[in-house]
A and B are shown apart, each in its own frame.
Chain A
């Protein structure tokens, strides 16, 4: 009932682990599939060389249903991730490699490397909200997004997914540029730029001062973005941002998503959230008289 497909990637359930959540080691990614029940997994965003990320605090809980995080793209570099991908694949679900770069050339090198290591697709992190100018740079300009996607698309044979930020005046034009550049799918959205100040000290809490807001509090924004993008582009859209329950996932799909990523939801529902949400989705689909999850994609339009 939940079987679906994105580009050439086959999924047992449309629920995918979002990048950067428990994605720094192969054993963890494997466990999210075998124990957690994810349909696919996205690795931590990988760059050309190891990066320690920002100083802590890297995470602060926003009481109103979310997290603000500023890990700062900490990662061991793509070459150190070869074995991790090998282990992650043992879980039996597609492994999607998340790629970031500080130049077109870096994006290409990492994407090609990950293709060699056997990932099913690459997701381009065009928009990480808290790494100075560089991370957020590409995804904020439709021309640059176009160029990055095009450059990577011309360099690899596997599907290329563009992950977008909603911290732009018009996310739809960026999505369209990525489609024009040849991307195979679009993930929307990444964490929103945010900040937390501790009132007892008057100091910003995060080591990086600003971070990315994720979790239930951003879901309505993410659903709106998916709805608007799906209306204007033909490639599949992957919804991301605050999905925590079956109802959330169904809502994303009705807005036009072909699959849904889950990250912060793990905090409240544990790594078996994928199993739980799949079950809840099936119940909602049955209640609505649907035979297959594909039937609900975009019905809100």
Chain B
């Protein structure tokens, strides 16, 4: 456990903030860190900035993330990691599909890909315009961004998968990358596969140790650990994960079934 301080806080949307920390990293996009608020809790968060000063981008949605939202510049947090396997850049033309707070690791991937001279298209979706994440950041580095909102306040009215289906009719990509609600990712996988495009998927499961020892993040079918063999999996592996798109386990290990929202 290393302790660092918050260097900068940026308000991204009503409930999402980016925290740039004093500690520097050299990580792979898609990797995550365990962030500790002393006396509160410790939770897994993807790196939204994976080179230089590390950054995390967090939706305030519960006890830990709400507490994080109260912290100020100069406050201390503990860090373990980066952990897990990140995204691998394959080919020259990349398609990123991110929903809600699944965008942060994809933004880090976009940074890396653009630096390596790749062509990047990103489909970014949210419930409403004010919740869209990192559209400017992505556009500023040269990513072509296609937005969509559930209520039609920005971009296409509909889901990321609708935009995806449209673009796949017209264009070809070498590799697809997705992070967001699992039901969305399931559909992304399906659409990309129909067109023969390999997909890399960033999965979320309940993380406790983060280092592959406790077994809480294990997925059925393969018995792999999301914190160690994931969080990014290739489509061929995901197809063997029998629980993908169906259920996950809570803090006790009890199965929780996904509601089919999107």
Q: A residues near B, CB below 8 A?
A: 20-31, 44, 50-53, 55-61, 67, 69, 71, 74-77, 80, 196, 198, 200-201, 203, 205, 207, 263-264, 266-267
Given A59-B209, A198-B3, answer yes or no on A22-B252 (Cβ-Cβ < 8 Å).
no
Closest A residue to B43 by beta carbon equals A56
Q: Report the separation of the CA atoms of residues A74 and B250 in the bound assembly, to the nearest whole angstrom.
A: 10
Do A25 and B214 touch across chains, with their CB atoms under 8 A apart?
no
Cross-interface CB contact of A53 among B39, B76, B223, B252, cutoff 8 Å: B252
B236 at the interface (CB under 8 A from A): no
Do B209 and A69 touch across chains, with their CB atoms under 8 A apart?
yes
Cross-interface CB contact of A76 among B220, B223, B254, cutoff 8 Å: B254
| A267 CB contacts on chain B under 8 angstroms | 211-213
Q: What 16 new A-B contacts, CB under 8 Å, besides A50-B253, A207-B42?
A: A22-B215, A27-B223, A28-B215, A28-B218, A28-B225, A56-B36, A57-B36, A58-B42, A59-B209, A76-B249, A80-B254, A198-B3, A198-B78, A201-B76, A203-B38, A267-B212
Do B251 and A67 touch across chains, with their CB atoms under 8 A apart?
no
Count, A-B residue pairs, CB within 8 A: 126
Do A205 and B78 touch across chains, with their CB atoms under 8 A apart?
yes
| A75 CB contacts on chain B under 8 angstroms | 252-253
Q: Report the separation of the CA atoms of residues A55 and B63 in the bound assembly, to the nearest whole angstrom.
A: 11
Do B208 and A76 touch across chains, with their CB atoms under 8 A apart?
no
Interface centre among A30, A53, A56, A77 (most CB of B within 10 A): A56
19 CB-based A-B contacts, threshold 8 Å:
A22-B212, A22-B214, A25-B215, A25-B220, A26-B220, A28-B218, A52-B251, A55-B41, A56-B41, A56-B208, A58-B214, A59-B211, A76-B255, A80-B255, A196-B1, A198-B38, A205-B1, A264-B213, A267-B211
B34 at the interface (CB under 8 A from A): yes
Given A59-B211, A71-B214, answer yes or no on A27-B220 (Cβ-Cβ < 8 Å).
yes
Cross-interface CB contact of A31 among B80, B211, B223, B249, cutoff 8 Å: B223
Cross-interface CB contact of A25 among B40, B213, B252, B253, cutoff 8 Å: B253
Q: Report the separation of the CA atoms of residues A264 and B99 in the bound assembly, to the nearest whole angstrom.
A: 37
B216 at the interface (CB under 8 A from A): yes
Closest A residue to B214 by beta carbon equals A71
B221 at the interface (CB under 8 A from A): yes
Q: Report the separation of the CA atoms of residues A263 and B80 in the bound assembly, to the nearest whole angstrom.
A: 21
Cross-interface CB contact of B252 among A29, A31, A67, A74, cutoff 8 Å: A74
Do B218 and A25 touch across chains, with their CB atoms under 8 A apart?
yes
Given A50-B254, A198-B78, answer yes or no on A27-B215 (Cβ-Cβ < 8 Å).
no
Contact residues, B242-262 vs A (CB, 8 A): 249-255
Chain A nearest CB, measured from B183 CB (Å): 22
Total chain B interface residues with beta-carbon distance under 8 A: 36
Do B252 and A60 touch across chains, with their CB atoms under 8 A apart?
no
Q: Report the separation of the CA atoms of residues A27 and B213 in the bound assembly, to the nearest whole angstrom.
A: 15
Q: Report the separation of the CA atoms of residues A52 and B219 in the bound assembly, to the nearest whole angstrom.
A: 18
By secondary structure, the A interface counts as loop
| B80 CB contacts on chain A under 8 angstroms | 57
A-B pairs with lowest CB-CB distance, top 7 = A31-B223, A27-B223, A200-B3, A56-B42, A52-B251, A22-B215, A50-B252
Do B38 and A22 touch across chains, with their CB atoms under 8 A apart?
no
Given A57-B1, A201-B38, A207-B42, answer yes or no on A74-B213 (Cβ-Cβ < 8 Å).
no
Q: Report the separation of the CA atoms of residues A265 and B114 in the bound assembly, to the nearest whole angstrom.
A: 40
Q: Report the separation of the CA atoms of residues A61 and B210 in the bound assembly, to the nearest whole angstrom.
A: 11
B222 at the interface (CB under 8 A from A): yes
Cross-interface CB contact of A266 among B1, B42, B212, cutoff 8 Å: B212
Q: Report the separation of the CA atoms of residues A59 and B220 in the bound assembly, to the nearest whole angstrom.
A: 23
Do A21 and B213 touch across chains, with their CB atoms under 8 A apart?
yes
Cross-interface CB contact of B222 among A27, A51, A57, A207, cutoff 8 Å: A27
Do A58 and B209 touch across chains, with their CB atoms under 8 A apart?
yes
Do A57 and B34 touch across chains, with their CB atoms under 8 A apart?
yes
Do B208 and A71 touch across chains, with their CB atoms under 8 A apart?
yes
Closest B residue to A34 by beta carbon equals B223
Chain B nearest CB, measured from A33 CB (Å): 10
| A74 CB contacts on chain B under 8 angstroms | 208, 216, 251-253
Closest B residue to A203 by beta carbon equals B38
Closest A residue to B63 by beta carbon equals A55
Do A77 and B254 touch across chains, with their CB atoms under 8 A apart?
yes
Do B250 and A52 touch across chains, with their CB atoms under 8 A apart?
yes
Given A74-B208, A74-B253, answer yes or no on A22-B213 (Cβ-Cβ < 8 Å).
yes
Chain B nearest CB, measured from A159 CB (Å): 24
Q: Report the separation of the CA atoms of residues A29 and B218 in the bound assembly, to the nearest whole angstrom.
A: 10
| A52 CB contacts on chain B under 8 angstroms | 250-252
| A200 CB contacts on chain B under 8 angstroms | 3, 76
Chain A nearest CB, measured from B223 CB (Å): 4
Chain A nearest CB, measured from B177 CB (Å): 26
| B1 CB contacts on chain A under 8 angstroms | 57, 60, 196, 198, 205
